[in-house]
Amino acid sequence: MKNLLPLTLILLSLISCSQTQKKIADDKIIPVIQVIDSSDMTNNFYDNVETYSLPVRDLAIDGEIANPGKVDFKGLPVHSVIVKETLLDSTGSDRFVGAYRYDGYSLFDILDKSILKKANSAEFKPIIDLYVEIENADGDKVVFSWGEIYYPNNLHKIIIARSVARIVPSKTKELWPLPAESKIIAGSDLVTERNISSPVKITVKSYSHSFAVQQGMTPMFSPGISIFSSSKKVGQIESVPQNQSITTFNTIFYGRGKGIHSTTPFTGILLKDVLIKDYPLNRENLKTGLVCIVGKDGYRSVITYSELFNRNDQQEFMLIKTKPQEDGGLYRIFAAADFFSDRAIKSVSEIHLSN
């Protein structure tokens, strides 16, 4: 009997920390039962307080797809993302809002069964120039590249939230303000301006600018990079700026089609450091800014402003200078956040900045 006493006390303690259970899903979604670890009995920091349900509005998918229509959330898995939400104030400075765990449906899953019907497929079949524009009923819009949805090493980091819980500091006990509506959560953003409330529409788009394509160009070489902003040339890269720090990324370079390419490290400078003077950080660019990187052969990739300039994971885009006259040079791109190598543009000849 003496041996049973400690076990009984432990069981009672566990019951006391999990006795609060709350249904955080409505009748249209599979019920989720929340267990609050108020006594901090587990190693999970993110389940210590109550989770609140967020109403999810009807969401439609349209644009360059063959099967537009309303999103059916039933059956979609629920993913969790933890964020430190921060917005820009009227002066352009960072304003911390709060730390949260959001649970919801990833864009990866929401768009998974959309049948792509690219408007520019006759010119360029690869999908890496696609992006999605997401808007709410108030007309607020944000963009995400197809690459940041489907190519990252860490998937399911962009979700439409159906519930939220504060991440409360254990000593100061601040209770951050809670949202009243569902919202998009971009888990890799440093400044979270793309986290707009109550999205109602997703539009799939391809980059509208046309570029001449010359498949199989060999050897391929571009001596410099022309920088365009709203179709106007604003700069030229012909040499690496002397004041830029050199960075090396170790990688397993693996393509979606050809598989393993190499395990050789990449050394170069951060692309964002070269472009920031022509593309300043502001609310509009964070939400809807796009960058199109084009190779000499017309191969191109679209990335978002936030994906390039506004990361919280330090998985940056690198600009690499090759040896003089090297095939695939003089400049190429390496996307450190990507599982696949498809967005590693060779012989970069143009970079287009748009909003």
How much is the pLDDT for 63?
A: 98
How much is the pLDDT for 230?
A: 87
Q: How far apart are CA 73 and CA 325, in angstroms?
A: 52
Other CB atoms within 10 A of residue 313 CB: 15
How much is the pLDDT for 179?
A: 96
How much is the pLDDT for 348?
A: 98
Closest CA to 163 of 108, 101, 109: 101
Q: 319 and 268 in contact (C-beta within 8 Å)?
A: yes
Domains and CATH numbers, the chain: 24-206 (no CATH), 225-354 (3.90.420.10)
How much is the pLDDT for 46?
A: 86
How much is the pLDDT for 34?
A: 64
How much is the pLDDT for 241?
A: 79
How much is the pLDDT for 29?
A: 35
What does the CA dihedral 100, 105, 108, 110 come to, rounded to 10 degrees?
-150
Q: Count Cα neighbours of 223 within 13 Å in the Cβ-side half-sphere.
A: 0
108 burial class (0-12, 13-18, 19+ CB within 10 angstroms)?
Answer: middle
Q: Mean pLDDT per 10-residue run, the chain (355 residues)? A: 45 41 38 60 84 96 98 96 97 96 98 98 97 97 98 97 95 95 98 98 97 94 96 92 89 91 95 95 97 98 98 97 95 97 97 94
The structure's pTM equals: 0.88
Q: Count Cα neighbours of 126 within 13 Å in the Cβ-side half-sphere.
A: 15
How much is the pLDDT for 38?
A: 66
